[in-house]
Structure 1
Amino acid sequence: MQEFAPSPTLPTLVTTLRAAGCVFAEDEAELLLSTATGPAELATMLERRVAGLPLEHVLGWAEFCGMRIAVDPGVFVPRRRTEFLVRQAAALAPDGAVVVDLCCGTGALGKALAASLREVELHAADVEPAAVSCARRNVGAHGTVHEGDLFEPLPRSLRGRVDVLLANVPYVPTDDVELLPAEARIHEPRVALDGGGDGLDVMRRVVAGATDWLAPGGSLLVETSERQAARAEETVGSSGLVARVVVSEELYATVVIGTRPR
């Protein structure tokens, strides 16, 4: 009779994860146990986590705005702090809003916003094929996911009609990318992290095109860091949008909002 290795116990998982440097070893151990379908899968998941893969890539999902979002290997993991951007967008979205989620990654932002609204026309886009494939699974019937660079793949019929433009653009300065934790630096696509010399290059490109796509009264929302906020606000304001900065100390999140005058 074939013998199988016993499934790792919770204390064993915690000890192994802690030894590998996992700060929240207890929480991670419980997630691995609850997700694995059997001892073999649990052992594989533990091995992958100890090897340094992001927990969300190991589990295959991330929690975001109270939902489980599928996260494929090599796709940017949605951060908890970005829930603040979604909440700000929900407060601005009118009934029947036209929403665009640029640099959508897993599609978490667009899906979460669409789920919080009664009626929405959602379009998402990303330049990474792996992200597009993942986002299409997450967004599903909530909207349409397009593959391409920023506004380029969007239907032309959206010009001047977008009520909420979400743009969780990369904003890490190029020289700082190598300072990121290995989980991000090694396992997430650089295009989702590197924002250019000062971290604002992609944001500038989004801002430059935003006024052509926003409806009168429509808003652009971009996440940035605290130290970049002043320059980001100035950049958004220089495009003709009415700019303001909102901050969540709880989530350590900074969002710049630019609204097109009516």
Structure 2
Amino acid sequence: MRMNEQKSCILIVDDEQQIRRLLKVTLQAHQYAIHEASTGEEGLQQASLICPDLIILDLGLPDITGMEVLQRMRSWSSVPIIVLTAKDQEEDKITALDSGADDYVTKPFAMGELVARIRVALRHATQSINDPILRIGELVIDLAQRIVELNGERIKLTPTEYDLLRILAINAGKVVTQRQLLQQVWGDHHNPSDSHYVRVYIGHLRKKLEEDSTQPQWIVTEPGVGYRLLSPD
């Protein structure tokens, strides 16, 4: 690291000391500056004082819930937030993402997976959305012309397919919930029972983008939560 480069600052909000210690040691080894909080209120106070570049937030806190911390944070800050959730708590993941979390990692988690999620979230926080051309590996999307190319070949998409792909591509590497896709593609007139529309159109997209639509490499399913367009680092 060059002397004039600043370390990204990460705030860890988790009541389990062992997890905080593991995260601190690992993330410091990846050149991140680390701050810690063991309660929700302490996390909110620390966030306002140090203005971190990213927050890792456990949803199971002893004083106030992680969900309340998330909602209060989002009332005044757009800092990237990655939540830690327990296994098989899909509804918590969906609620957190719909409430403004940038991503989630399920306990027990692999540190490599968490570090990758951190890189994606930090990249999204700093990237410009003014560039009309999105490039994700060999996938190129011209937002101005609504043109999609994969491996140099034009891909013909219906308007709905294109809108779904555009949202996934803008959020490349991040999970997008079915609720978010319904809201952004079908608008305010959708209802929760319309989620089958998302599955149908994702299936159409996979047939056009994937070499084998039964083993997708581009658009992967986050079971019970939503979809993620993979973003090669």
TM-score class normalised by the smaller sequence? 0.3 to 0.5
Q: Please report the TM-score for the alignment, with normalisation by the length of structure 2.
A: 0.36
